[in-house]
């Protein structure tokens, strides 16, 4: 968390291997990646990372299934059995039956679920979510955060999420507040017990 200009985007770019730090080290899954070349960073992004954006970033002329399988195509590892896994993930995320739809035929919440499916299809070690609920209403935000919570708890995916919304931050087990490019505070969330989440049913 942090105000505009606090360094959130810079931190996310470094964690996402889009930028390299000017000093210090960055260990991702036990590997020091901060001095990797651009090609090496691209490979790390493809193999270790998943990205979720506020604006969904889906390809408008591409079906839901095709959007989800895109990272596998980039990885050049698309296999016949992957389609079954894509449909399994779609079922888990509540978008089963929308495989042939295009993004403009979906609601905002459904588009974000497609974006989440695309982000996790490669089994990432780290999932980076930049304001994933920023364009969603409160009810849909609850659904998306429940999905992210389940991905963390049940699939063991580490999630780093940027948000301006305090109620969304309460979902986190750890809250880091940035100011002027420095860590202002780093604390366990008062609601790190999921049952204390304001959205818990």
Give the CATH number of the domain where residue 161 resides. Answer: 3.40.50.300
What are the pLDDT digits (tens) for 64-73? 999 999 988 8
Report pTM. Answer: 0.86
CB contact at 8 A, 186 and 194: no
Q: Is residue 2 part of a domain?
A: no
Residue 101 resides in a domain: yes
Four-point Cα dihedral 186, 192, 197, 201, nearest 10: 160
Number of domains in the chain: 1
Range of the domain at 71: 8-196
* Residue 201 included in any domain: no
Report if residue 65 sits inside a domain.
yes
Q: Is 180 left (phi over 0), alpha (psi -120 to 50) or beta?
A: left
Closest to 87 (Cα-Cα) out of 51, 117, 123:
117
Segment 19-57, tens digit of pLDDT: 999 999 999 989 999 999 999 999 899 889 999 988 999
Cα separation, 142 vs 33, in Å, equals: 34
Distance CA 55, CA 131 (A): 9
Residue 80: inside a domain:
yes
Evaluate whether residue 83 is within a structural domain: yes
């Amino acid at each position: 968390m942090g105000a505009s200009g606090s360094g959130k985007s810079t931190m996310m770019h470094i964690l996402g291997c889009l930028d390299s730090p000017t000093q210090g080290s960055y260990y991702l899954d036990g590997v020091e990646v901060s001095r990797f070349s651009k090609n090496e960073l691209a490979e790390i992004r493809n193999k270790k990372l998943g990205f979720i954006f506020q604006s969904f970033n889906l390809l408008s002329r591409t079906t839901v299934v095709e959007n989800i399988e895109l990272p596998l195509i980039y990885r050049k590892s698309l296999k016949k059995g992957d389609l079954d896994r894509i449909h399994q993930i779609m079922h888990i995320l509540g978008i089963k039956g929308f495989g042939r739809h295009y993004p403009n035929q979906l609601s905002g919440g459904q588009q974000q679920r497609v974006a989440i499916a695309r982000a996790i299809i490669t089994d990432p070690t780290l999932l980076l979510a930049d304001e994933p609920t920023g364009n969603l209403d409160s009810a849909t935000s609850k659904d998306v955060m429940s999905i992210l919570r389940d991905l963390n708890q049940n699939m063991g995916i580490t999630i780093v999420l940027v948000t301006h919304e305090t109620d969304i931050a309460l979902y986190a087990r750890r809250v880091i507040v940035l100011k002027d490019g420095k860590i202002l505070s780093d604390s366990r969330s008062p609601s790190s017990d999921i049952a204390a989440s304001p959205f818990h049913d």
